[in-house]
A and B are shown apart, each in its own frame.
Chain A
Amino acid sequence: MQIIKPNIDINFMGQRKLALVVSAIILAIGVASLFARGINFGLDFTGGTLIEVSYPTAPELGEVRQALADAGFDDFTVQTFGTARDIVVRMPADQDDETGADLSTQVLNALATQEPAIDLRRVEFVGPQVGQELAEQGGLAMLYALIGILLYVSFRFQWRFAVGAVAALVHDVLLVVGILSLFQVNFDLTVVAAILAVIGYSLNDTIVLYDRLRENFRIKRKGTPTELCNLSINQMLGRTLMTSLTTLLVLIALFYFGGEIIHAFAFTLIIGVVVGTYSSIYIAGNAAIILGVTKQDLMPVEKEGEDQPDVEVLPERFRSST
């Protein structure tokens, strides 16, 4: 089976202005959402207490709230989690309270007076200090990943490609975070892991494209960088879509069957794979072209006694009409 025909020729580069506009609009919406709604930071970063409890039958949330209020709690939220039988109680971190860890016990006791047959599923308590550290570490991790990648791509290709790749990554991360903000997805440590995985994935796509672009630059005698870029994208289209498809399939399996805890993680990756696929087609190549990649940049340094690369003529259909 072959969905992408071998001679496919979509003028991706011709639509690159449109792509830039689309990216700009989505980015603008995302950034606006970041400012307006902010990120729904999870417990890992804000600090606080979370208690997940399973009831034998779906409880009335109002009654659960009442039970907690009766026990003297005032600052809490109660939500169902996954099923109607599971509820999650969240409490913010109290900066002065040194015995935050005891809170979960008290909450559990309060809930048990109302319904003794409850089953404790999960308790998470993160002190404010730890939350701040985790946030710093997450930010640093992203920064170091980007720097590491910048260095590797500069070393293997050329700095214009490295900048292009990183531009595509920043684009992806911003878009993903913007969308997470828009949907108010609970942003916890697993989401940070997912974003780093998106960085890895999107980069994978970009590198594959650059690799082909480099090859085409070396072996094709004619054609402008834009034309060659378009040719490379078309050549890799089958692969790009196939890999995205298989990755999306497993992620959808994870999203639907992996359970509630892994939901935000799977969601982030699904968005990330879609955005990463789009960006490696429209953004990465674009960025390299805008930065002015030329054939000379990629010609291998000639060594004595080494074979010259095969030189092919660019097929008619990829030649520029003007």
Chain B
Amino acid sequence: MNRFPPWKYALLVIALGVGLIYAMPNLFGDDPAVQVSSLRGFELERDMPARIENVLTNAAIEYGPIEFEPQRLLVRLDNVDRQARAADALRDALGEDYVVALNLAPATPAWLRVLRAEPMVLGLDLQGGVHFLMQVDMDTARTQQLERFVTSMRNLLRDEQIRYRSVRLDRNQVVAELRSPEDRERALRVIGREIDELILETRDGSETFNIRASIDEDVLRELQQTALRQNITTLRNRVNELGVSEPVIQQQGADRIVVQLPGVQDTARAKQVLGSTATVEYRGVDEQNDPFEAHRTGRIPPQSLLYFMRDGTPILLSRTVIASGDNLINAQAGFDSQTGAPNVVVSLDGPGARRMLEHTSQNVGNRMAVVFIEHRPEVREENGVEVPTTRRVEEVISAAVTREPFGGRFQTTGLGSATEASQLSMLLRAGALAAPMQIIEERTVGPSLGQDNIDQGFRSVMIGFALVLVVMAVYYKVFGLVANIALTVNLVLIVALLSLLGATLTLPGIAGIVLTVGMAVDANVLIYERIREELNNGNSPQAAIRAGYEKAFSTIADANVTTLIAAVVLFLFGTGPIKGFAVTLSLGIVTSMFTAIVGTRGVVHLIYGRKKRLKALAI
């Protein structure tokens, strides 16, 4: 008698049930959808769903359910035609502050979504898209930073009326040459007080008394991390311009950024957008003339330029730029220590600080404006041909009254809320690319190749699977069929686990599944060959089954653990698509051990377990 305790059957049924549920979302395909998000990555307003419904109803477009998350909103539509019309209508209605992108939303039924069952994520090689790896030039970032220190040190010494012979950059240090030990003492005190990121050393030259300043390692690391984060923010802003539905922008290693844009085919444009830089400018507000008058008549005073606030109000600004994004070191949102009101604290480098001080000393009581300038990519139609171009967009993101003169470090208050403060600081930072970047790897897959990859991958899994089923059934008869059930369940479990883990399916990942199908039967082959051996040795069928499963177990475990070692190493060292292969291979090894050992035994016991006088096995 060979029987399983009921709990083992319960375990099998539960595993199968859970597997089926989480594998199922992959069967439903996608709905065409339109995704709305804020251009700058802000949260969407609460009334956005109502606005969208309004727009679509007015445009007489039938729409499906609307999903609203703080960062994005998704409207499902019945077909591609409605999707295109809805996107056009929304683009017109919402204006330039929002990104309206075409998307495909998984058509998972609601009851499955409640269980958090989602289909597998397809890799770029399957759905088409662009992958960029960008190298942030940290050496240049450090040099730029040091040059800023050179300037601030010169200014500081001049302000304190300490006579110096030179302040210059020497490899990775700032060297200040002073004329007397007394001057150096004073300089050390002042620099130590004002610039705390530097480590100061004294060294005597042949005729001079020198200070050698280097950036503290921790500070340097901090600087690099900030530079990287800032570049990521900038990139995210740029990518939003492209209207990509699910972009991935993340740090890789100490100085690299990965950008993945599914569905983007125009790589030239993508590169252009990623490479273009936005900047900010500080300009004084022309309070003498009436901007509305100038806007209406078109007569703009010669020393001024006409700009617009974000809400469309005209404003006249001076032609002279006080400071620009290049001068900006940092902008941080926070709260004013005295009033508790939200503020943005800005730090400028030396030249910026000097000009700022000059301007603010003469303009107390007047307003100063921040202009955000960027090159927005767009498609213009010329004689019926679509030509991608960039348009310079300038808008005034803030105009605040100068209360007292200030220089390199100042705060902007009078902001409506903490959210507004963080938005302003983000815009200011986006205006400054902290360090130059360069694309060091690109992988683009066109949509036709992506579809081919899916089709070919699917076909090879199916054909390989069918071949193995036939061979097993012919070679091991009833036991072969049992193994085939296990193999099928195994495939379901792999898909379910991939979906559950949110793992990305790639072409090498599919290859891993194919390979798993071939190798998964190994455990059953081992068991069945053992059962045959036991039968040949004259054991009874029931004893042969028991011995077969028990004796083969350690072999199967050893063999699979070693394969798993190779797969895990592959996962740890592999990049991108190779990781996909390692993931499916490892999952396949684990699930196949379960289905082949526990699963088939359960079924075999159901078929043969109760038969007392079993004469022969169909093996």
For A212, the closest partner residue in chain B by CB is B555
A141 to B439, CA, bound (A): 26
Nearest chain A residue, comparing its CB with the CB of B274? A101
- What size tier do the contact residues of chain A reach? 35 or more
> Does the CB pair A239–B565 fall under 8 Å?
no
Is there contact, CB below 8 Å, between B449 and A122?
A: yes
Contact in complex: B533, A235 (CB < 8 Å): yes
* C-alpha spacing A236/B551, complex, angstroms: 13
User: Which of chain B's residues 552-575 have a Cβ closer than 8 Å to chain A?
Assistant: 554-555, 558-570, 572-575
Least CB separation from A141: chain B residue: B573
Residues on B with beta carbons closer than 8 Å to the beta carbon of A235? 533
Interface residues of A in 213-268 (CB under 8 A from B): 215, 235-236, 238-239, 242-243, 245-251, 253-254, 256-259, 261-262, 265-266
For B529, give the chain A residue with the smallest CB separation: A239
> Could you say which of B463, B536, B562, B574 contacts A203, with CB atoms under 8 Å apart?
B562
A211 contacts which chain B residues (CB < 8 A)? 554-555, 558-559
A180-195 vs B, Cβ < 8 Å mask (1 yes, 0 no): 0000000001101100
A286 at the interface (CB under 8 A from B): no
CB of B521 closer than 8 Å to a CB of A = yes
Q: How far is the CA of A309 from the CA of B25 in the complex (A)?
A: 51
A228–B265 alpha-carbon span in the complex (Å): 62
CA distance A248 to B521 in the complex (A): 12
Neighbour of A257 across the interface among B459, B560, B585, CB < 8 A:
B459
Contact yes or no, A258 B268, CB < 8 A? no
Contacts of A245 in B (CB 8 A): 471
Q: Which residues of B contact A144 (CB under 8 A)?
A: 569, 572-573
Distance of A207 Cα from B566 Cα, bound (Å): 14
| A203 B566 Cβ-Cβ under 8 A | yes
Interface residues of A in 91-120 (CB under 8 A from B): 98, 100-102, 104-105, 108, 119-120
Residue of chain B at shortest CB distance from A142: B569
Write out the residue numbers on chain A whose beta carbons fall within 8 Å of the beta carbon of B441: 125-127, 130
Known contacts A149-B566, A203-B562; A246/B442 CB under 8 A:
no
How far apart sit A212 and B463, CA to CA, in the bound complex (Å)?
Answer: 33
Q: Are B515 and A251 interface neighbours, CB within 8 A? A: yes
Is A105 in contact with B562, judged by CB distance below 8 angstroms?
Answer: no
Shortest CB-to-CB span from A235 to chain B, Å, is 7
Bound-state Cα–Cα, A259 to B459, Å: 10
Question: Chain B residues with Cβ under 8 A from A152's Cβ?
Answer: 561-562, 565
In the bound complex, do residue B560 and residue A192 qualify as a contact, i.e. CB atoms below 8 Å apart? no
Residue B582 at the A interface, CB < 8 A? yes
The interface-forming segment of B66-74, B345-353, B450-458 is B450-458
Q: Are A250 and B468 in contact (CB under 8 A)?
A: yes
User: For residue A149, which residues in chain B have a CB less than 8 angstroms away from its CB?
Assistant: 562, 565-566
Known: A123-B267, A152-B562. A249 touches B464 (CB 8 A): yes
Chain A residues lying within 8 Å of B459, measured Cβ to Cβ, are: 257
Docked Cα-Cα span, A228 to B507, in Å, equals 44
Q: Which of B464, B474, B565 contacts A145 (CB 8 A)?
A: B565
Q: B526 contacts which of A104, A208, A250, A251 (Cβ < 8 Å)?
A: A208
B464 touches A253 (CB 8 A): yes
CB distance from B199 to the nearest CB of A (A): 31
The residue in chain B whose Cβ has the minimal distance to the Cβ of A257 is B460
Interface residue B438 (Cβ < 8 Å from any Cβ of A): yes
Smallest CB separation, A50 vs chain B (Å)? 10
CB of A121 closer than 8 Å to a CB of B:
yes
A126 to B430, CA, bound (A): 28
Least CB distance, B559 to chain A, in whole angstroms: 4
Which residues does chain A contribute within 8 Å of B508, judged by CB atoms? 190, 193, 262, 265
- Please give, as numbers and ranges, the residues of chain B lying within 8 Å of A193 by CB-CB distance: 508, 570, 574, 578, 581-582
A123 to B297, CA, bound (A): 52
Task: Give the complex CA separation of A102 and B445 in angstroms.
Answer: 16
A113 to B216, CA, bound (A): 54
Bound-state Cα–Cα, A6 to B268, Å? 65
A62-105 CB mask vs B (1 if < 8 Å, else 0) is 00000000000000000000000000000000000010111011
Residues of A within 8 Å of B554, CB to CB, are 211
Does B449 contact A52, Cβ atoms closer than 8 Å? yes
Interface centre among B457, B514, B566 (most CB of A within 10 A): B566
Q: B616 an interface residue at 8 Å Cβ cutoff?
A: no
- Given A104-B267, A124-B443, A265–B511 Cβ distance below 8 Å? yes
Contact B566 A196 (CB under 8 A): yes
A266 to B512, CA, bound (A): 11
Find the B residue at minimum CB distance from A51. Answer: B444
Q: Given the complex of chains A and B, what is the CA–CA distance between A307 and B582 in angstroms?
A: 41
Q: From A121, A243, A254, give the contact of B446 (CB < 8 A).
A: A121
Give the shortest distance, in Å, between A239 (CB) and chain B (any CB): 4
Cα A124 to Cα B474 in complex, Å, equals: 45
- Residues on A with beta carbons closer than 8 Å to the beta carbon of B475: 1-3, 242
Q: Say if the beta carbon of B49 comes within 8 Å of chain A.
A: no
Chain A residue with Cβ nearest B256: A130
- A120 and B525 CA atoms in complex are apart in Å by 45
Residues on A with C-beta less than 8 A from B265 are 120
Stretch from A11-19, A23-31, A132-140, A288-296 contacting the other chain: A132-140
Cα of A195 to Cα of B265 in the assembled complex, Å: 33
Q: A257 with B577: in contact, given A1-B475, A196-B570 (CB under 8 Å)?
A: no
Given known contacts A98-B438, A235-B533, A265-B508, A251 and B518 CB-to-CB distance under 8 angstroms: yes
Name A249's contact: one of B440, B511, B518 (CB within 8 Å): B518
* A98-B438, A207-B558, A253-B467 known; A246 vs B518 contact (CB < 8 Å): yes
Contact of B444 among A122, A189, A199 (CB under 8 A): A122
- Besides A123-B444, A251-B514, 5 other CB < 8 A contacts? A123-B443, A190-B511, A239-B522, A259-B457, A262-B508
Q: Which 4 A-B pairs have the closest CB atoms?
A: A250-B464, A200-B566, A141-B573, A127-B440
**Would you give 12 A-B contacts (Cβ < 8 Å), ordered by A?**
A1-B474, A101-B442, A105-B271, A130-B441, A134-B575, A141-B574, A149-B565, A249-B471, A250-B468, A253-B463, A259-B457, A259-B507
